[in-house]
Amino acid sequence: MTTANFVDFQNVWLAYNDELLAENHFAVEDINLQVKQGEFIAIVGPSGCGKSTFMKLTTGLKRPSKGQILVDGQPVTGPLKISGMAFQAPSLLPWRTTLDNVLLPLEIVEPFRSEFKQRKDEFAERASKLLRTVGLGGYEDKFPWQLSGGMQQRASICRALIHEPKMLLLDEPFGALDAFTREELWCILRDLWTEQKFNVILVTHDLRESVFLADTVYVMSKSPGRFVVKKEIDLPRPRDLEVTYTPEFTHIVHELRGHIGAIRQAGAVINQ
Amino acid sequence: MNKKTLEATAPWILLVLTLVIWQATCSLFNVSEFIFPSPYRIAQQTVEFSGVIAAHAWRTYWVTMAGFGIAIVVGVLLGFVIGSSRLAYAAVYPLMTAFNALPKAAFVPILVVWFGIGIGPAILTAFLISFFPIMVNIATGLATLEPELEDVLRVLGAKRWDVLVKVGLPRSMPYFFGSLKVAITLAFVGTTVSEMTAANEGIGYLLISAGSAMQMGLAFSGLVVVGAMAMVMYELFSYIEKHTTGWAHRSTNNE
């Protein structure tokens, strides 16, 4: 594993359009962020602080108004095919089976796209294997509406990983799930990451989730969206769910909670 | 009788009930068959003139299907264009709405000047009246795409075309089949209206000539036949819809 920075944000500013740019109204301001190869980072902050904007910048769906973003040493100029995304809504296609939903990226991204017809069986086997690792073995031929919310979200994460991306972007992926299912999926994500060591950028508002999973947690402030705190989580790995009940864990969560509280206070003063 | 069989037989029960009341009213008040024929009289005349009716019905049927076929092709193409491009949508939609507000029967005299009496005006009227719902539904299906899903695909390098083919088209299929059911019944209206003034064949023509000959039973037979044909085609497309896009009609526990 190299020690070079995999994701490198250098003084990145983004205004959503030219009018807002002229008014100096930025969605995110002066972002500086260095992520190492294989690092798992989490971004927490109050809602509307530009967390999702940050994701769009990282994947190249949005271009910064100022500053530069490097991913894997290359400046980001357009959508990055080495990344996979999953959101709070699983957004599976209802007319496709679970297996076909997971295979969708391979029908689009090169080099798999041009080989899709010849290597279909091989790809299907790969998808089945991935589904088995998240506990969806045997559900390949079920349709999304036959799965529970947690199962759909697992399938959605499989879809994000099927083309073996170097970077996985998760935007509040467990936000709509009940507490037990959520913790179950934390462990599934932890195991996938431990095994494959892709980069993860997890946007969440669940502090326990961020501390349990991430190497580094960034706290973002709201209007302007800035990174205000960087917190290295030095809890030993591998982490079990038990760790969430230790004083060390609680202490870190409390500390982050304090930062968020301060941001929200500050926001209340200027009435936003 | 359980609830399901009751639901399935309910329309037939209602039909029989209506016929019974109709027949009873006609017999009881001795209504003249030149004013309002009884169901029995209509049935009698239907059998008597079955050969003639069948010939006219066949003509109306294939003319309608021809117009409907053109409507599918044009409706899908236009719907695809305006559903996939914001600019095309902005440009085309207001004009199409205005066009749709025009009574299609008003086109018949113009079509007669261009194409003469016969199948030309009938096919075109069926087409004009039925392509609009198809176009609107295809466009709606294509335009309603979740932004997250689009991000998921775009980040993989999907082109606009990929998104349309992988997501937009399958998504618009339920809308498409739904619109076919509506459009086929409209197409029968178009053909019949056109045949009433601009043809020497077809159910529309039969209605006019039966009416002017005071053959009220026969005129009503014509109505029954058009209604039956439209109903059968509606059920056919309804069946196709259920068996091709079943995923859209199940109650889901997601989202």
Higher local confidence (pLDDT), A228 or B194: B194
Looking at beta carbons, which residues of chain A come within 8 Å of B162?
A: 108
A162: three-class secondary structure by DSSP: coil
Yes or no, beta carbons of A91 and B152 under 8 Å apart: yes
Mutate to test the interface with A, among B152, B169, B175, B253 (most CBs of A within 10 A): B152
Do strands A216-220 and A227-232 pair parallel, antiparallel, or not at all (unpaired)? antiparallel
Q: How confident is the model over B102-128, as pLDDT tens digits?
A: 898 888 889 888 988 888 999 999 999
Q: Looking up tokens 């009227």, which residue turns up?
A: B125
Nearest CA in chain A to B252: A145
Does residue A20 sit in helix, strand or coil? helix
Nearest residue in chain B measured CA to CA from A79: B155
Q: Do A60 and B166 touch (CB under 8 A)?
A: no
Report chain B residues whose CB lies below 8 A from the CB of A159. Answer: 152
Q: How confident is the model at residue B255 (pLDDT cuts 50, 70, 90)?
A: very low
Q: Indicate yes or no: CB of A94 within 8 angstroms of CB of B158.
A: no
Alpha-helix runs per DSSP H in A162-226: 179-196, 207-213
Residue B94 tokens, joined: 């207001």
Please list the residues that pair with A87 across neighbouring strands: A171
Pick from A80, A91, A163: CB nearest B146? A91
Confidence of residue B62 (pLDDT cuts 50, 70, 90): very high
pLDDT tens by residue, B139-173: 888 887 777 788 888 888 788 888 888 888 888 88
Predicted pLDDT at A8: 86
CA A115 to chain B, closest CA, distance in angstroms equals 16
- Among chain B residues, CA nearest to A145: B252
Measured between alpha carbons, how far is A40 from A203 in angstroms, rounded to an integer?
A: 11
Give the pLDDT score at B191. 92
One-letter amino acid identity for B246? Answer: G
1.10.3720.10, 1.10.1240.10, 3.40.50.300, 3.30.300.30: CATH of B41-244: 1.10.3720.10
- What's residue B184's pLDDT? 93
Digit-coded pLDDT (tens) for A89-128: 888 888 899 999 999 888 888 778 888 888 888 888 888 9
Cβ distance of B252 and A81 shorter than 8 Å:
no
* pLDDT confidence of residue B1: 62
Q: How many CB pairs under 8 A join A and B?
A: 76
**Domain with A80 in it: what CATH number?**
3.40.50.300
Domain count, chain A: 1
Predicted local distance difference test score (pLDDT) of residue A267 = 56
pLDDT digits (tens, 9 = 90+) for A155-208: 998 898 888 888 898 988 888 888 888 888 889 889 889 888 888 999 988 899
Domain that holds residue A118: 5-269
Which of A56, A103, A104, A177 to mutate to probe the B interface, most B CBs <10 Å?
A: A104
3-state secondary structure of A14: strand
A162: which 2 tokens? 């099927």
Judging contacts by C-beta atoms under 8 Å, the chain B residues touching residue A80 are 155
Distance CA B210, CA B208 (A): 6
Partner residue opposite A104 with nearest CB, options B166, B248, B252: B166
The pLDDT score that the predictor gives to residue A3 is 53
Q: Would you list the domain boundaries of chain B?
A: 41-244
What is the token pair recorded at B218? Answer: 């026969």
> Closest-CA residue in chain A for B163?
A108
Look at residue B200 and tell me whether its pLDDT is greater than 60. yes
